[in-house]
Each structure stands twice: as structure tokens, then as C-alpha cells.
Amino acid sequence: MTTETDMLRVMPPEIASRLIFDSFRRPLRVAMQDTDHSVMERAERITLNVDGKSVAVYKWGRAGPLVVCIHGWSARASNFCAFVDPLMKAGYRVIAFDNPGHGESGGSTTTPVDVSRILLELQARFGSPDVVLTHSLGALYAFYALNHGVCASHLVTIAGVCDFSYLVTRYASSMDLPGETIDLLRQHIESMFERDSIWEEFSAHNNLSGFGGRATLIHDEYDDYVELSQSNKIHDALGDRGALHITRGLGHRRILADQAVIEQIMKEIGGADVYYP
């Protein structure tokens, strides 16, 4: 039987690239995990309006240094639920939000510019975050924001993406698409931003000059969604400002709820002395 992927391979590149682009730019609105409901129900819910899009924001705690969490593609704020209680016990306030096109937020897609503007609005309302905690594409979003007016003293990336082109490259490789189709897909994405400089402009390693703090990078050796090479590239660019910790057997998503990972992060950001799991 001919699969959808087989059909895309044999379609005229102009048609195939448009179909892939229309699908690629729209994240899946994934459901919240059952285990996350109790934590999310304790959050103070705030709705921001940023560039005409409603943004669902969740806040825990009223005093103390601030941790802001940024999720990746086809994810949601609740992905950080395992961190909420440990952070609060260590004296932190915690804010997470659903990116546009995700969770309970409006819109149909997310760009680095969107997330940067959301973070600037949060910073204006609640003060600069002491820690920015990210997963997957959230790392790239964070570096861009930190180079465009957002301030933080510590950045934590979990399974971070460095190159803006990475997900396109991985997607195209998994489908074994013809080169012409890939080139046209890239052109569609460039048209969305009205410039062809985005591949370098949005990549994490090109957004370090505005970040003066330290970074903790955590990545699983066997992550089959975002390869370890992406965190290696960020680490190399950061030099002695970054520390890379490699896990094994946690993959791309289970790493977010792993007790040892949470404890390592608490130690790195300075919360270990008051955090008791």
C-alpha cells in the first residue's frame, strides 16, 4: 500500500513542499498527562494578550526568585510539573506558559519572536527571571530572547535544540524527501518570516552576546528526537560559561520527570541546600 510519505516523495516538489509546510508549521495540541492535573490545578491562571494572541500563563508561589519555564514544539506548560514542588520548596516562584498554538493558548504556531515578546511581557509584570528552564526547542527560544532584552542569571536547557534548521533537517531526513522539495520547504519557511537570514539569526549559538549568565545543559545520550550533538554545539559556543551533563536511557521526554535530573538542576541553580525530595 502506498503511504502518505511515499506520495509526498513522488509529488511535484512545488505541491509536496506546500503540503509539508502547512503541516510542519502547525504544532499538535497535546493533551495534559493525568499525573499533571493536581499540580496545574494549584496554579494561579493568568491570560496575556501578546500581539493579538491569548497566552495561557500558570504561576506558583508569590515570593522569592523567579523561574520561568519554556516548553518546545507540540508540548505544553504542564511538561514542567515535576519541577514545580521542588522549586517551590527551594524558595522559588515558578511561571510556565503555553506557547501560541499549544495547550490553552491561542494562535496556530510559535516563532522565536513570539516567545521573546511573551518573556518580555512577563519580565515587565513580574521582574527578570533568575532562572530560565527550557526543554527541546525552548532552549533556542530562550537564547534568542536573552539576546533581545530578557535578563536571567542562569539558563537550564534540557534536550536543547541549537540550530533553527535542525527540525527541518531531521523531518526531511526521516521522510527521505528529494532535495528540491527540501529547498522549497526552506523557502516557504523563509517567506513566513520575510527573510532568508532566519537559519543563522534564530540559532542558539548566534545569540550568546546578550546572555551574561551561566548555563546548565542536560541531554540524554540516546535522545532519538534531538541528538546530543545539538547540546554539544551550544556547549562549545558557551565555553566555560556552560556545563554539560549527559544522561543515559531517559530519551527526550522522560528526562523531564527523572528525579536525578531534577536534583542535578536544583544543585546547579543553588537550591540544593533547601531541597529535600
d(C-alpha 41, C-alpha 37), whole Å: 6
User: CATH code at 218?
Assistant: 3.40.50.1820
Pairing of strands 154-158, 214-220: parallel
Residue range(s) defining the domain that contains residue 211: 31-164+202-269
Backbone angles phi, psi at 204, to 5 degrees: -60, -45
| Cα–Cα distance measured from residue 218 to residue 257, given in angstroms and rounded to the nearest whole number | 13
Edge-to-edge order in the sheet of strand 53-60: 44-50, 53-60, 93-97, 66-70, 131-135, 154-158, 214-220, 242-247
47 lies in some domain = yes
Average pLDDT for 186-196: 96
Report d(CA 131, CA 184) in Å as an integer. 39
Residue 41 pLDDT? 98
Is residue 144 within 8 Å of residue 202, measured between CB atoms? yes
How crowded is residue 260: how many other Cβ atoms within 10 Å of its Cβ? Answer: 12
Q: For residue 161, count other CB atoms closer than 10 A to its CB.
A: 30
Strands 53-60 and 44-50: antiparallel
Query: pLDDT digits over 20-58, tens only?
Result: 999 889 999 999 999 999 999 999 999 999 999 999 999
What was the pLDDT predicted at 174? 81
Banded pLDDT at 72 (limits 50, 70, 90): very high
173 part of a folded domain: no
Cα–Cα distance, 260 to 254 (Å, whole number): 12
Task: Flag whether 69 is in a domain.
Answer: yes
Query: In this structure, is residue 118 part of a structural domain?
Result: yes
Report whether pLDDT(275) > 60.
no
Domain assignment of residue 48, yes or no: yes
Q: Report the C-alpha gap between 259 and 185 in whole angstroms.
A: 40
Please give the tally of structural domains in the chain. Answer: 1
Burial 9-24 (b: 16+ CB within 10 A, else e): eebebeebbbbbbeeb
Question: Quick check: 216 and 156 in contact, CB under 8 A?
Answer: yes
Determine contact, residues 125/193, Cβ cutoff 8 Å.
no
pLDDT at residue number 24: 86
Q: What is the pTM of this model?
A: 0.94
Q: Which residue has the cell 514542567?
A: 80
Q: Which H helix or E strand runs over 113?
A: helix 112-126
